[in-house]
Amino acid sequence: MATLKDTLAKQIPAVRQRTKDLTKQHGNRIIDQVTLEQIYGGMRGIHCLVCDTSSVPPEKGLIVRGKPIADLADRSPEEVYWLLLAGSLPDADSLKSLQGELSARGKVPDYVWAILDAMPADSHPMCMFSTLLLAMQRESDFHKRYEQGLKKDDFWDATLEDALNLVARAPAIAAGIYRKRFNKGPRIPGNPSLSWGANYAHMLGIADSSGEFAKLMNLFLVLHCDHENGNVSAMTSTVVNSALSDLYYSVSAGMNGLAGPLHGLANQECLAWILEAMKKFGGVPTKDQAHKHASETLATGKLPGYGHGVLRVIDPRFTCFYNFGKKHCPEDPVFKTVAVFFDVIPDIMKQIQKIKDPWPNVDASSGSLLYHYGLTEPLYYTVIFGVSRTLGLTAQAVWNRALGLPIIRPKSVTADWLATVAPEKPQAANRESARL
C-alpha cells in the first residue's frame, strides 16, 4: 500500500527537474505586464503566481488538478486532499492509508483547550480558530528538524508531517470551538472509525438522524478545499510560509485573511442578509419584493454572495450547493429565499456596466443549507470554510517546499516614482491580448 509520502517522494524529482528546465530554457520569457491601475487595484489579474493544486479559469470556475469541482462533489475530502497533493485520485488502499494517518494524528494537545477556555466568550470563532492553530506551533516537525539542520531537499517531508497533523486536528479544534462558543455543552470526543468529514459533523453534535447533515458537511469540505493561489488566504499563507515559517504560522496567517468580510466571512454576511430580508417580508419574499430589496441594497453597497474577483460565470460551487438544496430541502424557506434572489439578482447586476460578474459565488447558497440542518450560528460558518481550506493551503505549501521556492519578495514603488515613470512609459498593449 503506497502512503501519501511514498507517492510524493516518487513524483518530486521529475517535477523539480521540469521546474529547473522551464526556468533554464524560458527564464526570460515575458508572461504578463503590469499596469498602474493594477498596482493600485489589488494586483487583479496579474499572472505572477504558480499553483499546481488548482486553477480558476474565469469562464469555468474551480478546477482541481484538471478535474472540475462539480465532478468531485461526491468524493470525500480525504480523496480530494490526495488529489490536491498527488495529482490523481487515490485507489481504495491509498485512501484507507490516508484516512488511517489522519485518524491516528487527530489528538489535540490539552493546552489547546486551556487556551480556548481562557479566551473571551465573545471572541469571533475565526479568531479562536486561528489562535488555536497557531498555539500548536511548538508541535511543528519542520521547526524542530530545521533547528537540527534539516536539508533543503527534505523540507517538503517535514512540511508534509506538519500538514497531516494540522489537517487531522483541525476538525476537532473547530468542533470544540463550536461547542464552547455557542454553549452547546461539553466537547464530543471524535470517533476514529468515521471519516475526516463525518467525524467533524459528529463532533459538532448537530442532530442528524437522516445522515444528510454529514453529507452536506462532506460537500462543504470538498467545495471549499482550494481556489488557486491568488485569493487572500492562500497568498498570505504562501508568503508567510516562504519565509520558512512553518505551517502552523502560515495556515494561521491564512485564516486571519479568510476571516475578512471580503473573503471567507462573506458566507456569514450572506446568510445574515437573507434572514434580514425574510424578517422584513415576514417569510420568503415574492420576486417583486426580492427585486426591490436587492436593488436597494445594491444602491448603497455590495450584494452579499454575488460577484467574484476572478469568475465570470456562476460559481460552480454555488451550483453544487444549489443542487443539493433542490434535492434535499427544496421547501425550506431560507433556501427558497436564496432561490428567489438567484432568480432576480443577476439581471439587476447586468444592468450596471461596471459590474463584471453578476453571478452568485459559493457564499450565496452555503449558509442556507447549514441553517436548514440546525447549524444556525452564521458567525461560525467561516470556520467550516477554514477547516476545508487547510487542505489547499497545506497542499500548496508541501509543493512549494518540494520545489524549493524562495522567499517571496516583490518590489514596491512610491507614488512619486509612479507619477514620474508612468507618463514616460509607452501605453500598455491591450491587456486582454496578454492573457494566457
Quick check: is 315 catalytic? no
Shortest spacing between CB 284 and ligand MLT, in angstroms:
27
Residue 215 makes contact with ligand MLT by CB under 6 A = no
Give the nearest distance from C-beta 308 to ligand MLT in angstroms.
6
- Cell matching residue 434: 496578454
Which listed residue (308, 315, 332, 357) is catalytic? 308
DSSP assignment letter at 119: S
Label residues 260-298 b or e (16+ Cβ within 10 Å = b). Answer: eeebbbbbbbbbebbbebbeebeebbeeeebbebbeebb
CB of 309 vs ligand MLT, minimal distance in Å:
5
Stretch 60-119 residues interacting with ligand MLT (CB under 6 A): none
Annotated catalytic, 308? yes
CB of 150 to ligand MLT, least distance (A): 31
Q: Bridge-partner residues for 63, per DSSP?
A: 55, 68
Task: Mark whether 363 is an active-site residue.
Answer: yes
Confirm if 197 and 214 have CB atoms less than 8 A apart.
yes
Which positions from 324 to 363 touch ligand MLT by CB under 6 A, shown as an x/- string?
Answer: -------------------------------------xx-
User: Hey, which residues between 257 and 276 contact ligand MLT (CB under 6 A)?
Assistant: 263
- Residue window 220-259: x/- pattern of binding to ligand MLT, with contact defined by CB under 6 A: -------x---x----------------------------
What is the four-CA torsion angle of 376, 80, 263, 135, rounded to 10 degrees? Answer: 80
Tell me which of 208, 246, 332, 363 is the catalytic residue: 363
* Minimum CB distance to ligand MLT, residue 263 (Å): 6
Nine-digit cell at 306?
454575488
Residue from 70, 86, 159 nearest 78 by CA:
86
Q: What is the DSSP string of 310-377?
A: S--S--HHHHHHHHHHHHH-TT-HHHHHHHHHHHHHHHHHHTSTT-S--SB-THHHHHHHHHHTT---
User: Which residues in the 360-379 window bind ligand MLT by CB under 6 A?
Assistant: 361-362
CB 366 to ligand MLT: min, Å: 11
Instruction: Please state the φ and ψ torsions of residue 68, each to the nearest 5 degrees.
Output: -60, 140
Alpha carbons within 13 angstroms on the beta-carbon side of residue 254 total: 35
**Cα gap 18→343, rounded to integer Å:** 47
Residue placing its CB nearer to ligand MLT in the complex, 180 or 263: 263
Q: Which of 222, 220, 184 is nearest to 203 (CA)?
A: 184
Q: Which of 143, 202, 227, 263 is catalytic?
A: 263
Query: What is the x/- site pattern for ligand MLT, positions 283-322, by CB under 6 A?
Result: -------------------------xxx------------
Catalytic residue annotation? 263, 308, 363
Binding residues for ligand MLT (CB under 6 A): 227, 231, 263, 308-310, 361-362
